[in-house]
Each structure stands twice: as structure tokens, then as C-alpha cells.
Amino acid sequence: MPSPQTLTSFLSQNLPQKSRAQLRTSVLPTLLTSITRVAQCLRESQDIQAAGSQNTSGDTQLNVDLATNEIVHAAVRTCPSIISASSEEDEGENAVQHDAGVQPHQEGEEQYAVAFDPLDGSSIIPANWSVGTIIGIWDGTSALHQPARKKQIAAILGVLGPRTTAIVAIHLPELGSPLCFEVGLSSSTADILVIRESVSYLTPEAIKTRYFAPANLRAAAQDPRYKALIDHFIEKEYTLRYSGGLVPDIYHSLIKGHGVYVSPVTSKSHAKLRLLYEVAPIALIIECAGGRAADPASGEDILAKSVGDVDQRSGLICGTLEEVLMCIEMLV
């Protein structure tokens, strides 16, 4: 079996050499390395406790939320082409205050905005379950008020579990087709390794086991349509794979090549997921893998939206094309 390619080699072969040099040599490697450091921080944090503060969404912050947030921000400050950044743990989108000696790029050069959730899944961290890091990379100086399908050009879904891995999606107009690949992250190796050069959903005829991940199962008692959908999964003998962690549940479907994740919206259960930090990056990865991501309230494609503000919320249906279409027909 041939040895895995390094990230440097893989990106050199697949990304434009000149127009996206910073994305290739600085932005992606630096952000992926920051996920390695987030994983190290989490593994070394034995005393998980509330930090005594809340983020702008009203969620109680843990000490590890704050620590890992600073890890990603520290990485961002070293990248001259990242002009603005926003985090689920911060207030709004802000200009990056680069480290001393780092000259930020000016208009006419490569410029990016990043939006990230440094530690998604805080509620299951005390149980020592897998959690994740989600990062969206946007073309230009802001991620706000931009058409997501056109301006969000890359996304990273990192899993902090027994292994630290990440799925990376890149969708650029200058590429013939999008990239979606998996990397292994380790502090013991100098190079990031591409362990799967193509991540994609299986064709319907190749699927042997069908998976479903129903978030907020209590909503089935509030909405007969959602209950009917859950009953459909059970009657058709789908396999349940739901941990309560958004990242590992989405990641599972991508690695298995099949699965549908549903975070519903009902009259009592309002949209919870943040469009900028969670839903839009995941939607890009899902589409680059050949799937679909839609709003369960309207059936609209997630990437057809623009992000109006950092706290804009959305439900989410994502996975293989045929499963998402079936869910939309039953829920909308």
C-alpha cells in the first residue's frame, strides 16, 4: 500500500499555484495545525468547568471553550491573508490584529475571512465523547452579507476523538470540480497526511446500510411530521447513529458514505444551530461530497442563503441526495 501524501504535496497538485498560494501554503495548513493544538488542549484539560461567562448566543462557556478559542485566534493572527475573523465564542466579526512582523494583505491580494466554532459539542465534553472544530473560509474581507455558495470557498470539519482527523472541502471557481478529502492530524509528525484523497457519498445502488441521526428527538412529540419521519426510519430498518455531537454525527455519514442528519424546527423547538459557524461550513462539505444540505423549515438549500448576522440560526437536514429529498417531502 502506498504511503499517504502530505498535505503540501496534495494541495500543490490540486490548487492554483499563483492565485491561491496563501490558501495553499498558509491558511489551510495553519488552521489544520490549530485543530491539533485544540485536541492537545482538550486532552490536557482534566478539570472541565464553567468559566462563569456566556457567549453572545447565551450558552454557558466552559474553560476549554475559552482556551481553544484563543488557540484558533492565535493561528489566525499569523496568516497575512486572513483579514477578519469571527468565533462562536466572540462578539461579532472583527478585523484580525496580526502578530508583530506579519503584514496583512491589501486589496488586490489574497484576502480571506474565517468563521469558526473552536469546540463544538461542549455539552458532551464532560462525558468524554468525541467533539469537534468547525471552520468556514470565505473569499474577501467579510463572511457577512455574502452569498454562501459563491463566497464560502473552503470548510474544515475536525474531529477530536481517539484520533484527531479532519475533512476539508474546497470549492473554487477556478477548479474544475470541488475537493473533499480527509487528513490525519498529529503533533508527532512534521507533515499533515492526507489519509483519504476523496470523500464522497455512495451511489444508491452501492449502499448496504442506511444510517440516520435524529437530533432533538423530543420534537417528535411536538410535530407529527417529525414523528412520522422517525417512524419511517425505524420501519425501513435504518441504523441509528446519533451521539449528540454535531461534528461526529456528520463525520460518520461522510466516512460511511451514507447517512442523513436531521435537526428539526418546530413551533416549540426553534432553530438552534448557527448558520455562520456550524451550518454553512457543514453544508459546503456535504455538497462537495456529493450530498445536499437543506433547511427543514423551508426546504431551501443552505448554501442559497446569505449570513445576515453572526447569531443567525437554522435547522439542518443533510446527507445523501435521496434521503434529504425524502425528509424535505415529509417535513416541509
The structural domains of the chain, with segments of one domain joined by +, span 5-196, 204-331
Distance CA 225, CA 230 (A): 9
pLDDT at residue 188 is higher than 70: no
**Residue 269: what pLDDT?**
87
User: Count of alpha carbons within 13 Å of 96, Cβ hemisphere only?
Assistant: 32
**Residue 95: what pLDDT?**
97
Q: Domain 204-331: which topology?
A: D-Maltodextrin-Binding Protein; domain 2 (3.40.190)
Residue 179 neighbours by CB distance under 10 Å: 19
Distance CA 121, CA 118 (A): 10
Q: Do domains 5-196 and 204-331 have the same CATH topology?
A: no
pLDDT at residue 58 is higher than 90: no
Q: Is the pTM of this model over 0.75?
A: yes
**Residue 182: what pLDDT?**
98
- Is the separation of the CB atoms in 222 and 253 below 8 Å? no
Of the given ranges (25-29, 66-70, 119-123, 322-326), which has the lowest mean pLDDT?
119-123
Cell numbers representing residue 34 in the block: 490549530
**Residue 35: what pLDDT?**
97
pLDDT at residue 55 is higher than 70: no
CATH code 3.30.420.40 for 5-196: no
- Taking Cα atoms as reference points, which of 128, 130, 116 lies closest to residue 48? 128
Q: Please compute the mean of the pLDDT values over residues 117-132 and round it to a whole number.
A: 91
Distance CA 190, CA 171 (A): 27
- Taking Cα atoms as reference points, which of 85, 65, 88 lies closest to residue 75? 85
- Fill in the amino acid letter for 79: C
